[in-house]
Amino acid sequence: MSRLLEDILFAAPSPRAQAVTRVASVIAAIVLLLLAAGIVLRFHSAGQFDARFWKFFAWPTTWAFLGKGLLGTLASAAMAAVIALTLGLVLLLGRLARTRLVRWPSIAVIEFLRGTPTLLLIYVCFLVLPQAGIKLSTYWMLTLPVGLSTAAVVAEVYRAGVLAVPRGQTNAARSLGMTEAQVFFFIVFPQALRYIVPALVAQLVIVVKDTTFGYVVTYGELMQNAKVLIANYHSLVPVYLVVAALYCLVNYAISRASKRLGRPMH
Amino acid sequence: MGDVSRLLADHGPAFGQALFLTWKLTLLSFVPGFLLGMIVTVLRLLPLPPLRFVLTVYVEIFRNIPSVALLIFIVFALPDLEVVIDYEPSVVLTLALVCSAFTADYLRAGINTIAGGQVEAALSLGMRPMQIISAVVLPQALRAVVQPMTSLLIALMLSTSLASQVPLPGRELTALVSKIATDSAAGMAAFAVAAAMYVVTGLLIAWAGATLEKKARILR
Amino acid sequence: MSINSILKSTVAALAIVTGGSLFAQGTPIDAAAFDALVAQGPVASAATIASSTWASKIKQAGTLRLGGTQTSNLFSLLNEKDGKARGFDAGLAQLLTRYILGDGAKYQFTQVTSSTREQVLINDQVDMVFATYSITPARAEKIAFAGPYYTSQAGVLVKANNRAIQSYNDLAGKKVATQAGSTGPAILAQYAPKAVVQEFQTHQEALDALRQGRVDAYVTDYTLLLNALSLGTGDAKLAGAPFGAQDPYGVGLPKGSDGVAFINDFLKKVEADGTWAKLWMISIGQRTGSTAVPTPPAIP
- C197 within a domain of the structure (yes/no): yes
Say whether residue B182 is in contact with chain C using an 8 A CB cutoff. Answer: yes
> Dihedral, CA atoms, A183, A185, A187, A192, nearest 10 degrees?
130
The answer on pLDDT for A145 being more than 50 is yes
**Cβ-based contacts of B49 with chain A (< 8 Å):** 25
Q: How far apart are CA A121 and CA A148, in angstroms?
A: 9
Number of domains in chain C: 2
The more confidently predicted of residues C260 and C183 is C260
C190 & C160 share domain: yes
Q: Does some domain include residue A95? A: yes
* CATH code for position B123: 1.10.3720.10
Statement to judge: residues C133 and C274 lie in one domain: yes
Provide mean pLDDT across the span B118-137: 87
Whether residues A69 and A21 share a domain: the answer is no
Q: Is residue A178 part of a domain?
A: yes
Residue C145 and residue C158 in one domain: no
Mean pLDDT lowest for which of A21-35, A123-137, A251-265? A251-265
Instruction: For residue B200, give its domain range.
Output: 2-216
- Burial per residue of C122-133, b for 16 or more beta-carbon CB atoms within 10 angstroms, e otherwise: bbebbbbbbbbb
C71 and A61 within 8 Å at the Cβ level: the answer is: no
> For residue B58, what is the nearest residue in chain A, using CA coordinates?
A248
* Count of the separate structural domains present in chain A: 2
pLDDT at C3: 64
Across the strands, what pairs with C67?
Answer: C110, C129
B203-220 mean pLDDT: 87
> Same structural domain for residues C253 and C139?
yes
Q: What is the pLDDT of residue C21?
A: 26
User: Residue C157: inside a domain, yes or no?
Assistant: yes
Most confident of A5-14, A123-132, C7-16: A123-132
Mean pLDDT check: name the lowest of B80-84, C2-6, C273-277. C2-6
Are both C134 and C77 inside the same structural domain? yes
**From the candidates B22, B26, B65, B76, which should be mutated to test the interface with A, based on the most A CB atoms within 10 A?**
B65
Residues C35 and C45 in one domain: yes
Same domain for C232 and C197, yes or no, is yes
Kindly report, residue by residue over C124-178, the tens digit of the pLDDT. 899 999 988 888 888 888 899 998 999 888 889 998 888 888 888 888 899 999 9
Q: How far apart are CA A46 and CA A174, in angstroms?
A: 70
Same domain for A82 and A36:
no
User: Is the same domain home to A203 and A163?
Assistant: yes
Are A171 and A224 in the same domain? yes
Q: Give the per-residue pLDDT at A266.
A: 43
Examine the domain organization and report whether C265 and C283 are in the same domain.
Answer: yes
Q: CB neighbours of B138 closer than 8 A, spacing ≥ 6? A: B38, B42
Least confident of A182-196, A248-262, B194-208, C242-256: A248-262
pLDDT more than 90, % of chain C: 30
Residues A139 and A224 grouped into a single domain: yes
How confident is the model at residue C289, as a pLDDT?
Answer: 66
Question: How distant is the alpha carbon of residue A175 from its chain centre?
Answer: 40
Q: What is the pLDDT of residue C20?
A: 25
What pLDDT shows up at residue C1? 46
Interface partners of chain B (CB pairs < 8 Å, 3 or more) are A, C
Indicate the SS3 state at residue C43: coil
pLDDT of residue C225: 81
**Residue C129 is assigned to a structural domain of this protein:** yes
A148 and A217 co-located in one domain: yes
Res. C233: pLDDT tops 80: no
Q: How far apart are CA A236 and CA A226, in angstroms?
A: 9
For residue C253, what is the enclosing H or E element? strand C243-254
Could you tell me which of B198, B215, B213 has the C-alpha nearest to residue B156? Answer: B198
pLDDT value of residue C151 = 86
- Among B5-14, B197-206, C18-27, C264-273, name the one with the lowest average pLDDT: C18-27
Say if the Cβ atoms of B195 and A112 lie within 8 Å: yes
Q: State the pLDDT at residue A210.
A: 92
| Spatial CA neighbour of B60 closest among B90, B105, B30, B95 | B105
Q: Give yes or no: residues C134 and C166 share one domain.
A: no
3-state secondary structure chain A: CCCCHHHHHCCCCCHHHHHHHHHHHHHHHHHHHHHHHHHHHHHHHCCCCCHHHHHHHHCHHHHHHHHHHHHHHHHHHHHHHHHHHHHHHHHHHHHCCCCHHHHHHHHHHHHHHHHCCHHHHHHHHHHHHHHHCCCCCHHHHHHHHHHHHHHHHHHHHHHHHHHHCCHHHHHHHHHCCCCHHHHHHHHHHHHHHHHHHHHHHHHHHHHHHHHHHHHHHCCCCHHHHHHHHHHHHCCHHHHHHHHHHHHHHHHHHHHHHHHCCCCCCC
Tell if the CB–CB gap between B182 and C198 is shorter than 8 Å.
no
Average pLDDT, chain B: 90
Q: State what percent of residues in chain B have pLDDT above 70.
A: 99
pTM score of the predicted model: 0.85
Q: What's the domain range around C197?
A: 17-24+152-246
DSSP annotation of B80 reads G
- The predicted pLDDT at position C231 comes to 61
Distance CA A197, CA A217 (A): 31
Q: Tell me the pLDDT band of B150, cut-offs 50, 70 and 90.
A: very high
Q: Is residue C6 part of a domain?
A: no
User: Residue C4 falls within a domain, yes or no?
Assistant: no
C293 located within any domain: no
Cα–Cα distances (Å) from A112 to B19, B151, B177, B201, C206, in that order, read: 17, 15, 17, 12, 36
Res A43: pLDDT: 87
Residue of B nearest to A226 (CA): B69
Query: Residue C7 falls within a domain, yes or no?
Result: no
C220-234 mean pLDDT: 71
Note whether B83 contacts C: Cβ–Cβ < 8 A: no
A65 and A123, same structural domain? yes
For the cut 80, the answer to whether the pLDDT of residue B135 exceeds it is yes
Q: How far is it, in rounded angstroms, from Cα A70 to Cα A82?
A: 18
Do residues C124 and A136 lie in contact, with contact meaning Cβ atoms separated by under 8 Å?
no
Averaged confidence pLDDT in chain C? 83
A21 shares a domain with A128:
no
DSSP codes joined into one string, B91-105 = HHHHHHHHHHHHHHH
Query: What integer pLDDT is reported at residue A224 of this predicted model?
Result: 82
| Same-domain status, A66 and A38 | no
Cβ atoms of residues B157 and B201 within 8 Å:
yes
Q: Is the ipTM of this complex over 0.95?
A: no
The CA distance from B160 to B162, in Å, is: 5
Reported confidence tier of residue C232, pLDDT bands at 50, 70, 90: low
Domain count, chain B: 1
CB–CB of B84 and C119 under 8 A?
A: no
Cβ–Cβ pairs < 8 A, chains A and C? 61
Do residue A195 and residue A225 come from a single domain? Answer: yes
Question: Which CATH number characterizes residue A103's domain?
Answer: 1.10.3720.10
Give yes or no: residues A40 and A82 share one domain: no
> Identity (one letter) of the amino acid at B166?
V
Q: Is the peptide bond before B50 cis (omega within 30 degrees of 0)?
A: no
Q: Assign A2 a pLDDT band (cuts: 50, 70, 90).
A: low
Of the two residues C200 and B21, the one the predictor is more confident about is B21
In a 10 Å sphere around its CB, with 0-12 CB exposed, 13-18 middle and 19+ buried, how is residue A75 labelled?
A: middle
Residue B27 has pLDDT above 90, yes or no: yes
Closest to A229 measured CA to CA, from C208, C109, C70: C70
For chain A, give the mean pLDDT: 87
Quote the distance between the C-alpha of residue A87 and its chain's center.
Answer: 18
Mean pLDDT confidence for B86-111: 94
Judged against a pLDDT cut of 50, whether residue C283 lies above it is answered with: yes
Q: Domain range holding A155?
A: 61-259
C143 lies in the same domain as C156: no
C25 has pLDDT over 50: no
The reported pLDDT for the residue numbered A149 is 94
Residue that wins the pLDDT comparison between C290 and A125? A125
- Residue partners of C12: CB distance under 8 A and separation at least 6: none
Give me the CATH number covering residue C91: 3.40.190.10
Summarize the confidence of residues A216-244 as an average pLDDT: 85
Beta bridge partners of residue C218, listed in sequence order? C157, C177
Assess A59–C contact: CB distance below 8 Å, yes or no.
yes
Best C66, C76, C125, C230 member to test A by mutation, with max A CBs in 10 Å, is C125
Asked whether residue C107 is domain-assigned, the answer is: yes
